[in-house]
Chains A and B, each alone.
Chain A
Amino acid sequence: MLVPISWIKDYVDIDIPVELLAEKLTVAGLEVVHLKYIGLPQAEVPGVRMPRSDHLVWDREKLLLARIVEVKTHPNADKLVLAMVDYGGDELEQCVTGASNLFEYKGQGEINPPIWGAFAMEGARVWDGHSDKPRLMTLKGKELRGIYNKSMVCSEKELGISDEHEGVIILDHEERYVAGAPLADILGDVVFDIEFTPNLARCFSMIGVAREVAAILGVEMRYPSFEFVAGGGPIEEQVKIDIREPELNPRFTLTLLRDTEVKPSPFWMRHRLRLIGQRPRNNIVDVTNYITFELGQPLHAFDYDKLLDRAGGPPTIITRLPEAGERLETLDGLARDLGVETILVADTAGALAIGGVMGGGETEISESTRNVLLEAAAWNNISVRKTIKEQRIHTEASARFSRGVHPSQSILGSSRGIELMRQLGGGTVAAGVVDAYPLRPETVTVAVPIERINALLGMDIEIDQAVDALRRLEFETRVSDDVIHATAPDHRLDISPDPVVGRADLLEEIARMLGYDRIPETIMADEMPPQRENTSVFIEERVRDILVGLGLYEVINYRFTNRETEAMLVPDGLPSSLPDAEYVEIVNPSASERNVLRHTLMANMLETAANNARYQKTQQLFEIGKVYLQRNAVLPEESMRLGILLTGARDQPTWRIGDAGDALDFYDLKGVIESLLGALHIDDFSYERATHSSFHPGRSANLLLRRVQVGAFGEIHPQVGQRFRLTDSKVFYAELEVAPLLRYQQRLHKIEPLLTTPAILEDIALIVDADVAANEVERVIRQAGGRLLKDVTLFDIYTGDPIPPGKKSLAYSLTYQDPERTLTDKNAARARKKIVGAARRRLRAELRS
């Protein structure tokens, strides 16, 4: 909300710089997000930082309040006039101007009652009114169609008040005006832009902000008069109220003004409305807006004669729920279907307005309105919230009612509103107010011991300090036995009658008024809870570290996807290997391609790889993240998964090798997995050929820990790769459950002693059938080699001449070592003989010579 400081000063005296006030409001919870300076200089206040403002500061010597005494015809130009201006100098100044709103005074002699303008003297700096971009200029003397001119009367745009440049500023006469007074003293202002959190409904007006200012500064609030001058007959004879749903409409008040004139509002009203971003319309509508902003009590004005017509006599205003299928054309010209819970303002002939939200078109104020019936009511905030959601209407009224306006404000709004209307438009106010108030909110009194306040604040304040804080906020207080009994003022709906919650409400108010900066900083002295280790966090972090150490980059993907994308993981004609569960489906997705939560990391990982492929040929990525499997429970199973993706070249290109060398393959991925398992000291693992539809059937495997499958890995099925635009190089992917890694890791593994006896190394090459699995050969070698065979490493696989077709040669280097003694060549030869023998017998292997 925009809050001009000049307006706030109507209600409270402020003797600190606006910058400091902005800081104090912000710290007290009314966040001032911007200060707009109008003509006044920005002050430097120690300890307060503000963005530097580049506004025009009005020169107090050269920008002055001036009386426009007379408007004369320009001898050579129809579109220009000569404004004769009294700026306090010895003679009248003649300003050549094209301001359209001065033409009505042309050739009428001295203007009476007087009007006033903003006068800029030669040498004054103002904004260039004709420039589209903000540009400052300095006034210089020059001829305008044959008449010398060196000064001017200014528009709002030229002074930086608004973009208005149709005419110049014309102020209505006020007794306090003196020609030649610095303009800064009259129109200079600072407009605060304040953001309110939902608990600050009571602040959503000038008076609401002023109350906070008064409380913070510890000064008295100066309320406007809520009396009105009545001259007409009693209003009860002219209109009645019938509230049918007190829960939704706890109070409804009406006042009536007869024989008024609808016309433009005076300058002060138009100026204030424009400062807060509202467009002035006419005096009646302007007053409803003005009171909405001044008091936070929205008003609605009806053309009383139209109501008389509809009712065929004095109308009865009825507030009620809609009838089936009822519609209403609102002020914005839309014919609206009304929801069953929408509270309406109606008369006997039908609906007139949506309560607290928007009026209807038929009974609105027009140029010809003479008699005005003014509504000030209270509406249930939840009901208004539902309506604005349903109807998608956002008005200044609904913004306030949806946050909550205390019913006590209705009578203040109708009284002050009708009086202002009378002052601006003339006429006679009917005596009294029709006030239907079927549901009064209970008065809330909360008791809080000072000891509890101090215990919660961590302070040691006197009871008087707490009482003073509450009184400044207009609480009524009574103290007995170190307990404060505080009664909330009648503009507040946010103090809870629940004794414990109400205490928290008071505590907050006391803390705000003391200032949060005065609360000390302490170390918790309270009992420490039992410390628990969160092992799942530990394992996730450990896995991350291991994989990063292996050269992989961690990614974090959206946990959203869509069914079609995950379906792309299943090649045509194959059964899906994706989890057998329902999706968690979002009913209001931000984009249709993100309308379910994922069942697998695979699609996200492939998309990420595809996105990166333009810039990165080689990618080694992993993600640890959840998948969401909706089964029979209310909430889905949230299962933590590890996805690993490798694609591209094993080594990075260098000037030595020339190019990137070999492509990454299945065994690189297997190496990552085994390194991970090794680092976690998981040694009971095995593989089996995978039957997962998303992988190449011949180049994929399942990983088993303790013979239970925990995931699959291998080369992504070529058709899947294609669908994800990953065709440049093969993609290798693994997806594992994280929980079993946690379960099977060994954190107390034994460390092998370091052997000091020498080892004997030798090589052996075996020729076996091409389809014999490598791990089979190794197992035979290890079993036959026995205790002394410390290590077996495959270092070559060879097929082709001179190896016979259908055969392959596997070359191993073998390490023999005895922990106790030095081995001899004889020992090694014996072991070797056993190995060769076993290989012959069990694998039909030949020794390659």
Chain B
Amino acid sequence: MSQTVEVLRHQALDKLDKTTDSDELAQWRSRYLGRKGAVGALFGTIGKLPKEERAAFGQQVNALQSELQKAFEEREQLIREQLLAQDLEEGEIDITLPAYPRQMGGLHPATRTHREFQTIWAEMGFQVYQSHDVEEDDFNFTLLNLPPHHPARDMQDTFYTTNPRVLLRTHTSPGQIRAMRELGEGGSKPIRVILPGMCYRQEQVTARSEIQFTQVEGLAIGRNIRMSDLKGTISEFAKRMFNTNAKVRYRASYFPFTEPSMEVDIECFLCDGEGCRVCKYTGWLEIAGSGMVHPTVLRNGGYDPSVWSGFAFGMGPERITMLKHGIQDIRYFWGNDLRFLKQF
């Protein structure tokens, strides 16, 4: 073997053994195997050799090139494995360092609860009907069987406006009349709607009472709507809303716009009815007021109450949200403290 080839071979393999990372490997490769590398230079010298030596020398250089290429690949493989082993061995970080926070937004809790309501009621065929916040006295009271000086008007502390005929609705029920008149086509079509919206009462703002609150009211009108349908529908809602098979209790009650009227309680889902602070140790939580639509209200909506019947119910989403999340103070809702909103 040519002296020159042998020297280069020794030198190259020796240097290759000393490489420790990919940079050094790359350098080595370009120095020996690159276009202008040492092996290439040897090829360049072939032409200067005597003719008879050229073939043998060329063979030797070719063999050297193959050998070095193979050695390079082996070395590269070895270093890669070493580096991997080292990274796995030593590349540990402090996993307890705080995370980089991601920017998250969030829906207001009232919206969340409304969506739950809307979804459940939509599945039962009740669609959203939106109505005014600022209402006429007639719609808020008189047409709902609450004539002037009706005792039940005292149950509702009303915000009146400078126009004596106009007030802020105290409940979503005026929407019942508007929905009947708009969708009922002169008392000839059945109706199934929910009426969500903001309502207003003239109260002292405290941890337990607010001057504005949302309500969701439901209304079903048909030729064959029964009290048993009301019970079945509300029980189904409670099952889906509270995700339980909790018992539901129906109590006789009074609302001027329904008769018979009933309050709906569900077995307290916080204590399974055993009694706790939230349910005031009664085991029951009040979730809705409901009843069969009063004949006078049906009439005012354009229906003949001797042929048509219906049921209505109303619920307070804030109260239900408070129950579900153990919120003590109703003022949190419109206080919009981000520390509150970010907890949902």
Contact = CB atoms under 8 A, between A and B. Distances in A.
Contact of A49 (B101, B262, B283): B283
B281 interface: yes
A144 interface: no
A773 interface: no
Nearest to B248: A521
A52 interface: yes
B2 interface: no
A361 B125 CA distance: 63
Given A550-B105, A619-B338, A507 B211 contact: no
B192 A548 contact: no
B226 A455 contact: yes
A611 B335 contact: yes
Contact of A587 (B135, B161, B336): B161
Nearest to A454: B226
Interface in A356-396: 381-382, 385-386
A199 interface: yes
Nearest to A532: B127
A535 B252 CA distance: 37
Contacts of A690: none
Interface string A17-45: 00000000011110100000000000000
Interface stretch (A176-184, A651-659, A752-760): A651-659
A248 to B, nearest CB: 13
B161 A585 contact: yes
Nearest to B282: A49
Contacts, number: 271
A526 B160 CA distance: 39
A28 B253 CA distance: 8
A450 interface: no
Nearest to A502: B295
A464 B134 CA distance: 49
Given A508-B261, A553-B105, A528 B231 contact: no
B232 interface: yes
A29 B251 contact: yes
Which interface class (under 10, 10 to 19, 20 to 34, 35 or more) fits A?
35 or more
Interface string B328-343: 0000011111110110
B304 to A, nearest CB: 9
Interface string A508-527: 10011000110111111111
B15 to A, nearest CB: 40
Interface in B268-290: 273-275, 280-284
A523 B101 CA distance: 48
B227 to A, nearest CB: 5
A516 B161 contact: no
B273 A559 contact: no
Interface string A717-748: 00000000000000000000000000000000
A554 B108 contact: yes
B189 A529 contact: yes
A751 interface: no
Contacts of A457: 226-228
B229 interface: yes
A536 to B, nearest CB: 7
Interface in A524-571: 524-534, 536-537, 541, 544, 547-560
B125 A531 contact: yes
A28 B227 contact: no
A638 B337 contact: no
A549 B106 CA distance: 8
A817 interface: no
A554 B334 CA distance: 11
Contacts of B115: 541
Contacts of B333: 556
B161 A508 contact: no
Contact of A586 (B103, B104, B129, B160): B160
Given A52-B281, A500-B295, A554-B108, A27 B160 contact: no
Given A529-B183, A529-B189, A634-B163, A504 B108 contact: no
Given A385-B149, A555-B108, A556-B108, A49 B226 contact: no
Interface string B233-249: 10110000000000001
Interface string A484-511: 0000000000000010110111011001
B64 interface: no
A611 B336 contact: yes
A269 interface: no
Interface in B191-212: 191-192, 198, 202-205, 211-212
Nearest to A541: B115
Interface stretch (A151-159, A302-310, A317-325, A588-596): A588-596
Interface string B152-165: 10110001111101
Interface in B289-331: 292, 294-296, 305-306, 309
Given A590-B204, A634-B165, A556 B334 contact: yes
B76 interface: no
A386 B154 CA distance: 12
B134 A584 contact: yes
B282 A525 contact: no
B260 interface: yes
A333 interface: no
A432 interface: no
Contacts of B252: 27-29, 508, 511-512, 516
A385 B160 CA distance: 19
A198 B231 contact: no
B328 to A, nearest CB: 19
Contacts of B130: 534, 536-537
A87 B297 CA distance: 65
A526 B229 contact: yes
A197 interface: yes
B232 A522 contact: yes
B7 interface: no
Interface in A632-654: 634-636, 638, 651-652, 654
A523 B232 contact: yes
B34 to A, nearest CB: 28
Given A458-B227, A531-B125, 14 more contacts: A456-B227, A500-B295, A517-B250, A522-B229, A534-B127, A534-B129, A541-B115, A560-B212, A616-B339, A620-B103, A628-B133, A634-B136, A635-B134, A651-B103
16 contacts: A458-B229, A512-B260, A516-B262, A520-B228, A521-B232, A521-B235, A533-B127, A534-B128, A547-B105, A548-B105, A551-B104, A590-B211, A612-B336, A612-B337, A621-B336, A638-B132
